[in-house]
Each structure stands twice: as structure tokens, then as C-alpha cells.
Structure 1
Amino acid sequence: MPSLPIPMIVAILLAYLAILTLARRDRPWPFVLLILACAVQGTVISLNQHYGVTLFHTVQPVTATLIPPLAWIIFQVTAIRAFAPSRHLPHLLLPAFVAFCMAFAPQVLDIVIPSGFVAYGVALLIALKQGPGNLPLPRLESGERPGLIWRVIALALIASAFSDILILLDQVLGQGRLQAWIIGVFSSLILLVLGALCLSRSLESEPNEACPAAEPPPVMDLEQNRALIERLDHLVTSQTLFLDPGLTLNRLSRKLGVPAKLLSSTINQTTGENVSRYINAYRIEHACLQLEAGESVTSAMLNSGFNTKSNFNREFRRVKGHAPREWLATRAAVPD
């Protein structure tokens, strides 16, 4: 009786999610590419390991090493800057190099493949360590979640390299008896995690939004920082930019005519908050006015630039010290 291995089940699930995402058009399209790459890899693993199709024995290392550079490119174009072929496409030389090694030096693949996963995982972690100012394209409404999700993706890439190390140890110590299980279970979990994370609404951004190349921000003194914050306060309040749930750091910086990193660092140095919390403070004050005017919590949330109740409640409690209904009750209890 025909059976489906775990990687094939994961591949079918990811392919379904990718098609559903394309049909709904509610996620940035580059993430669909990563989901499909994970689905293809699950299919290749199944055809090679479970069904014994020898052709896919040579294909599997190449399709595997397509995932790390693809994740890096998608991170760049959805979080930092617009797609540029000369900057991003050279990363696809990794699977090309693996194909070359597969043909002429297969003995080095046990080093090249895990090294590629680790290198891109570490590169992601280093880029994220630079702070929110290094992510100008995600929506500010998402707060710190895009950075957290990308950290998990980076760790998943590194964990995938660990599976290759386990396979190598099994070949040395156990004559490869556990190899099929390690590849099937471990790889399936990694692929499923990568695919599922790419569906998060927190990663929504405007990948086609122009973003200048990253440059070191100029050094500004205290007075210059305060002047910039005053300009920002006036811009945000006069144009009620905080009501836009799609607002990004890049859009703010373009309106002010300053680099995104400079704006982010100035907000942090002057207010002690990051850009997301700075904007959300305006949103919460607006939500309070809405609640006092008799609007429901949901209406106040949507009218103030928030899309999700979890983020709204978390930010409301951070700013006001209470949940929305509790805050409203305390206001009602205060005598005139």
C-alpha cells in the first residue's frame, strides 16, 4: 500500500499554504518563494530517501542550499532595501558551487553544505543585532515581532546545519542506520518552521518601497537631536501619520529627508524608546480619546492604526498600565 513519508506530507502542506497565500494576496509575495522552496525540498527529500529515485540524490544538496541565500535575499528586500540584481543575485552562487562540488568534489559537501546554512544564519543574526533602525521596511504596527521572527528563521537555518552534523556522526559511529530518520524528521521540522514563519502577518512590509543604501548616520549633538524630534513630532501630529497601520520607518525618514538609521537612533537617544513604541504612544492616546467618546475597544483599536488586538492590548497596557476596559473603568470612577 502506498505511503507518504513525513517530508512529503510537509511539502504538500507547504504547497497548499503557498497557493492559498497567492490566491489571497495578503502576504508579501517574496515569502511565497521561500515557502515553495521548502515544499520543493521536502518533495526532493522524499523522492530520494523514501522512494529511492536516484536522480534526486544529486539534486537534494543543490535544492537544500538554495534555501539559505533565498532567505537572506527575502530578508533584505522585505526588511531593508528594494531588490537589486547586482547586490542580491550573487548569493545564488552557493547552490551553483554545491552543484560543482557534487560533480567534481563530493567529499567536501559535508563541510560546504552545513557551512552555508550556518553562514547565512549568523549573517541574519548579525544584521538583526544592529537594532530596529536596520529594518526600515516592516510596518511599525508589528513592533518588534518581525525582528523576533527573523531571529527564529536564522536559528532554524543554523539548526539545519546541526542535522548535517548528526548525519555525519551517524555515518561514523552508527553506519548510517539513523540517517533516514534524521533527514526525514529533522528536515521536515525545519522546513515546516520556515514555511509557517513566512506566513506571519508581522512580516508584512512594502518591498517595492524605495530605500536608500545603508550609510553610517552622521553624528549629531543634543540640540540637533531635539530639533529633529520636534520636526518629527510636528510631522506625525499635523499629518496624523500614526493612524496609518502601514506606516514604516522608511516612510517616516523619507518625509523628514533624513536617513532611517539616523531617525531611529535619534528617537532612541532622545526618548529612550524605539520607533515602533514612539508611534504607538500616539496611537494609544488617540485610542483613549476614542474610548472616552464611547467607541468600542475594537473600533478604537482600528481607528488608531492598530490591526491586531494582541498588539493593541499589549501596547495599551505598556503605556497606560491597564487593559483598555480597565483603564476606561478607572476613568469613569474618577469624580469630575
Structure 2
Amino acid sequence: MLLLSEKFQLELRHLRHFLAVAEYKSVAEAARHLHIVQPALSRQIKQLEAELGTSLFRRSVRGVELTLAGQQFAEDITRVLIDLDAAYKRVGDFARGGAGSLRIGVAPHIAWDPRILSRLQEFREQSPEVELVIESGLASTQVARVLSGELDGGFLAWRDPAVEGLASLDLFNCRLNLAVPSNSPYVSKLPEHLHELRSEPCLWFRREVAPFYYDFLIESCEQGDLSPRLVISGGDISTILGQVATGLGYSIVPDSARFHCPPNVVLLEHPDLVGTFPVEFVYSASATNPVLTRLVRMLEV
């Protein structure tokens, strides 16, 4: 309710009734379309004119016409009501998760994976009013930023399971592949057993970069009776693949790397590499952003 004076309280219906009279150029016709009695509508117009201190209508042979002041008031009120209707729609969209913003992290090794990109594209199509910001980040960085509120959620793997305050959805599993240069003899003849690679330089990363993933890789090698000759060459999979491309050695990477693999690197499945690991979407367990809720519900399907 809009309070203009102590004597007259202006409500939105008064403004809509005023515009109806202006549209139909007749109090009687406007009253009929508004489903109210004519005397009540006439009284509202008179009260509005008294409050504004000017006449809004003048009588004509056809009914009533807007005065100059009435024309200006009608233009201004029309804009106000359009903005108000839009505000109602925006807040409703926000409450339903159809508007607002999301900051989402994606681990580098899955940033090009269509299983991620297709879901983000689907969300964009369903919620075109949402501002969606995608940022690359390793699992540990994403978790810290989700807990601090800098990110709303993140697509990742191999987070510390001891960290509390998170909720998650498992999306799909990755398995391990051998990554070799395209001119490697292993492209045409796969080594029968992993341990045949023990003398080859294996391009790797420091354990502190991703300790849980590091341990999983070492365990996978041990299950295949391989003690790899580790050569520390990078901190992420993209860097390691670049080193493989130059012929400096081979590596073991997730099969999701095929979506951003250099053209002169080949990914090979090997029967001794049997382990898999989940890619998940992680978010704060106490999150209240309705846009995030909408994304989570879509990912659950």
C-alpha cells in the first residue's frame, strides 16, 4: 500500500482503475470491465484527483478524456506498473531458481568432458536468466572455495573425504588409460602386461598436488605389477599430456583426458588398469541458493 497522505491511502488497484478509465474513456465502461459499480469507481477517481491536487479527466461528448496532467500521470503510472510486474516476475523466478547467478568450478581434466558440458548447456537452456560463471580449479582449491562461499559448487574428483560440510552427487566414473606419443610402438602393439613399462620414463606429478589421486594411481600400478620410473613433469594432466606429446615418456591418465588430448598423443586402454573413480558435483551442505537447488535437481535426473 502506498501512503501519500494521512487521509488517502493509494493502492495499486486505484492506479489500475485509473488506467482503465483512461483506456475506455468512460467511467461506466471501465467499471463494467473491472466488475465494480460505477459510483465506487467515480469516487476513487475523485479521491485520486484530490490527493494529486489536479484534474485527471475532463468530460467530453464521448465520455471522459485525459487532461495534460492526466496524460503525464498515465505515462508515469504505466511505466511504474510495468516495472512492478517485472519485479514480481524476477523475484518469482529467483525463488524458483530461474534467475540469479551461479559460480561453478570444474576440474581441468574434465573441463572438456561432454558429460559435464552437456549438463551445463542443458541448464543454460532451462534457465537463460541465470548468470553462470565457470572457473577451472583443482579439487582441493574448489572445496576450499565452496566452503568459503566463493563458489556455489564444483565438478571434481578426489577430494579429501575428511572435510565436513559438503554434499555431493556422483555423476559418472572414469577409468585409467595409458597415454603415449602417437609414434610409440605401443600404439600398434599394446604391452601385454604393465610391468613391461618399468624401464620407461613415466611422467608424473608431485603428491601434494592431489594426494588421493596420486595414491590411487600408485595402487593401480601395483595391482598391475608395475613399479613406474617416475619423472616429475607437471602439476596437472594437461601439462603432463603436453610432455607426452614431445616424446619424453608415457603417463597414466583418466579416460576423460581424451576430450582435450593433443593430436599426437594416443590414449590406450589396458586390461591391467581396472580401477575406476567417480566424478562428482560438490556443494555446501548448508547452501540456500535456489538457483543451485535447481541445478542439483537437474543433475539428479
TM range (shorter): under 0.3
Structure index of larger Rg:
2
**Structure with more strand by fraction:** 2
TM-score, length basis structure 2: 0.22
Structure number with higher helix proportion: 1
